[in-house]
Amino acid sequence: MNIVYDLAVIGAGPAGLVAATVAARHALATVLFDDQAAPGGQIYGPPTAGQNVRPETQGGDIRDAALIDAFRQSGATPVFDATVWAARRREDGLYEIGVAYGAPEARSVRITSVRAVIIATGALGRPFPVPGGALPGVLTAADAQVLLKTTFIDRTRRVVLAGTGPLLWRLASQFLDAGIGLEALLDTTSRGRQWRALPAAWDFARAPNFLRGLAEGRAVRRRVQVIANVTGLEARGPGRVEEVQFVAAGGTHVLPADLLVLHQGVVPDINLGSVLGCAHRWNDARACFEPIVDEWGGSTLPGVFVAGDAAGVAGSDAAEARGQIAALAVANALGRIDARARDVAAVRPRAALRRALRGQAFLDAVQRPADAFRIPRGDTVVCRCEVVTAQDVVDAVRLGASGSNQVKAFVRCGMGPCQGRFCGLTVTELVAQECRMSPDAAGYFRLRWPVKPITLGELASLPSSPEADRAVARGMLR
Ligand SMILES: Cc1cc2nc3c(=O)[nH]c(=O)nc-3n(C[C@H](O)[C@H](O)[C@H](O)COP(=O)(O)OP(=O)(O)OC[C@H]3O[C@@H](n4cnc5c(N)ncnc54)[C@H](O)[C@@H]3O)c2cc1C
């Protein structure tokens, strides 16, 4: 058999780094791909030459360096600046993976024979569709973090943060640490969610990050005007965002703003798993789709595992533990260790996972965004790539589209370069509400590769025969 690699790990965040390290230590020929220039993923990703960057604005800690060092010494093959844009299961049960290298090479390679895959592609910001949300100057938290890490943000800009969840407060700290003042933090956490979360509060109070989160919240409150119970949020232009309108304490208010950063939590990135054919289901407590996985991260496809936030959002400690657990399962499945050795080695990461998940139920309950912020109405743009509004989606359903995928065919939402990353969940929930069905029944877009945008040149550069594939793959990856 022409086995090029035993295992391909996709994503070099905490989950993927640990998974690749553990797999390589068990003598699995392991390759790790990430579309960023260096390891670390969303949280530990390296700062670039931005003027705002200070290490403490990153949110990581000293352990990141240790993770990356261990990975570098493990013998796994790292491939950065490499976007996995396709993956499929072949008839012989092996996996084939399409990888594009960005400029200057701008070419693609097909890894033809991979025995197992660990998807560690992390999470995406949950869609936050509000009126005016498509105006220039309205950013997601991910955009804002990229700006903070890479660019100079003019300190005279009037910045407003709006949304819910711990990352919003982390982002506020990151802005303040970078010396950029905030006009206000508009907290959209819906009234009463804390009460619903109360039964899980004791666990949360014992969660590893509880005290750190509390301190961070207090520090932000000392320096920023925080407005609670915000509803009716709107960005207003005309040409770009100039003010933010919202309802709070029984009145309508307007704040001037040059930048509005919206964030209401993160959800698993299910795109690659969907393209492969892994099954997913709706998690109503978290209002998102998650892959169906067993206690080892094993998906519904043999040989495909999901680790880290891609398996269910739980933060970097849980991601590391899940990466280790999945790699042990692969080592067992490919005959490097027996089931007993796997189980013994998994005791510590399982304990770490339990610790990391403590308090998660509280967070899930508190930060589940209000319906009005997940299921918009009227002219609010849902799909930015194809400029599709909430009303367009509703009209498509009224014309007979019976699920999210048919709505895509009717109005093109999800057909743009983001492949539904910014609108998929919103469309599902809109369809479910309009058809009075569950989000599982409404379904998600049926995704096809390329999972991420690639150029025609990259596609055309694919080697033309299996032999050439192997030669190119060996040459490029070793
Ligand atoms: C927008 C955002 C901001 C966050 N900010 C913070 C923060 O400030 N502090 C904090 O503690 N936590 C933060 N988190 C949470 C934290 O990043 C995660 O909990 C943790 O990093 C999860 O680790 P992971 O390994 O599962 O995924 P990640 O760390 O997200 O790593 C996934 C990696 O996969 C890569 N990838 C994805 N798809 C492909 C593909 N098709 N081909 C190649 N590579 C691919 C990504 O570029 C990324 O490097 C943030 C999360 C998000 C989504």
pLDDT digit of tens for each residue in the chain (478 aa)? 345 799 999 999 999 999 999 999 999 999 999 998 888 887 766 555 444 555 555 554 445 778 999 999 999 999 998 999 999 999 999 999 999 987 677 788 888 789 999 999 999 999 999 999 999 999 999 888 888 877 667 777 899 999 999 999 999 998 998 888 899 999 999 877 777 777 778 888 777 777 888 888 999 999 999 999 999 999 999 999 999 999 999 899 999 999 999 999 999 999 999 999 999 999 999 999 999 999 999 999 999 999 999 999 999 999 999 999 999 999 999 999 999 999 999 999 999 999 999 888 888 888 899 999 999 999 999 999 999 999 999 999 999 998 999 999 999 999 888 888 889 999 999 999 999 999 999 999 998 888 988 888 888 888 776 666 666 666 555 4
Which residue out of 22, 42, 148 has the highest number of ligand 1 atoms within 8 Å of its CB and is therefore the one to mutate?
42
Rounded Cα–Cα distance for residues 451 and 78 (Å): 21
**Nearest ligand 1 atom to alpha carbon 14:** 25
Task: Pick the closest to residue 306 from 283, 295, 92 (CA basis).
Answer: 295
Task: Give me the pLDDT at residue 428, please.
Answer: 97
Rounded Cα–Cα distance for residues 58 and 170 (Å): 9
The structure's pTM equals: 0.92
Supply the residue whose CA is at minimum distance from atom 39 of ligand 1. 121
For 3-103, where are the E strands, in sequence order? 5-10, 30-33, 77-79, 82-89, 95-101
Task: Give me the pLDDT at residue 417, please.
Answer: 86
Residue carrying the six token digits 């670390």: 40
Task: Give me the pLDDT at residue 478, please.
Answer: 46
Rounded Cα–Cα distance for residues 368 and 286 (Å): 6
User: CB 187: neighbour CB atoms within 10 A?
Assistant: 19
**Nearest ligand 1 atom to alpha carbon 309:** 26
Would you call 284 exposed, middle or buried from its count of C-beta atoms within 10 A (0-12, 13-18, 19+)? exposed
In angstroms, what is the C-alpha Rg of the chain?
22
Let me know: does 297 contact 307? Beta carbons within 8 Å: yes
Task: Give me the pLDDT at residue 49, please.
Answer: 46
Rounded Cα–Cα distance for residues 189 and 203 (Å): 20
Task: Kindly list the protein residues whose Cβ atom lies closer than 6 A to any atom of ligand 1.
Answer: 10-16, 33-36, 41-43, 59, 83-84, 120-125, 141-142, 145, 167, 170, 266, 272, 308-310, 315-316, 319, 451-452
For 50-189, where are the E strands, in sequence order? 77-79, 82-89, 95-101, 107-119, 123-125, 138-140, 159-164, 184-187
